[in-house]
Amino acid sequence: MSSAFFCGAAAGLSLALGRASVWIWNRTPERWLCDYGECGIPGGHRTIACTFQWSVFLGTPFFILMLRADGCVSKFVPAAAVALALVQLSASDARYRILPDQWILCLAAAGLMFPVPAAARAAGLLAPLAVYIPAALIARASGRLPGLGAGDAKLASAAGFAFGIPAMGIIFCRAFLAAGLWASLLLFTKKAARGDRIAFGPFAALSCFIYLLSSIR
């Protein structure tokens, strides 16, 4: 296919998917964006204007995936389904420090389109919970908050189920490194203090997206 036509088609599809991402975010139920038992969101659920700029911004991941897949639908569709869940998870965690279970389940379900052995899926699903639950119990018994939230552990399990335990290990090692570098920068520039918490979801989503790019051949 001609490169000019392909790039134009990829750009148009990406804009449409970016606009769809905005539309979906603006219709996300507010109960998804707060912890269980809480009523509403502090400050209200502010919507995103469905502008060309936002469509470009949220459509960029899909454009990159389309170029990487070279127009192959069987490669692009599974990656785009995962990317849609990652976009929504990143937005909710960055804004409200919450990773909705509904989008975590969507991520896991989208991963079913990838050819991963059942044993690797099962190990990837259970390993993060097997590490998080004892660590969280120990932290709470000593009167401290766990380093990561339950949503982060569930996100790791969903990624492990979607891509298998080896990929999950790679994804979260990169995410921890990126989050650590960002936290160090915030501390160095005095934009944050020791003990402050940052949203880990966007780093995990970015690392997962990088893995997607590397997995498309």
Q: How far is the C-alpha of 13 from the C-alpha of 173, rounded, in Å? A: 32
Cβ neighbours of residue 142 under 8 Å, at least 6 residues apart? none
Residue 161 and residue 108 in contact, taking contact as beta carbons nearer than 8 Å: yes
Placement of tokens 């849609």 in the chain? 84
- Report the Cα 44 to chain-centroid distance in Å: 23
HSE value, Cβ hemisphere, 13 Å, CA-based, for 91 = 23
Counted residue by residue, the chain has a size of 217
As a whole number of Å, the CA-based R_g of the chain is 18
Q: How far is the C-alpha of 201 from the C-alpha of 209, rounded, in Å? A: 12
Q: Which amino acid is at 92?
A: S
Placement of tokens 């389940």 in the chain? 105
Short-list 89, 94, 92, 134, CA closest to 108: 89
Q: Can you list the positions of beta strands (E) in the chain?
A: none
Q: How far is the C-alpha of 83 from the C-alpha of 92, rounded, in Å? A: 14
> What's the confidence (pLDDT) of residue 123?
95
Please classify residue 124 by burial: count the beta carbons closer than 10 Å to its beta carbon, then call 0-12 exposed, 13-18 middle and 19+ buried: buried
> What's the confidence (pLDDT) of residue 2?
64
How do residues 101-110 score in pLDDT, each as one tens digit?
A: 999 999 999 9
> What's the confidence (pLDDT) of residue 106?
96
> What's the confidence (pLDDT) of residue 57?
92
What's 46's DSSP letter?
P
Residues of the chain scoring pLDDT < 50:
1
Whether pTM > 0.85 for this model: the answer is yes
> What's the confidence (pLDDT) of residue 135?
84
> What's the confidence (pLDDT) of residue 107?
96
> What's the confidence (pLDDT) of residue 121?
95
Containing 28, the helix (H) or strand (E) segment is none
Residue 58 and residue 21 in contact, taking contact as beta carbons nearer than 8 Å: yes
Residue 111 tokens read as: 């991963």
Residue 212 tokens read as: 């997607």
> What's the confidence (pLDDT) of residue 104?
96
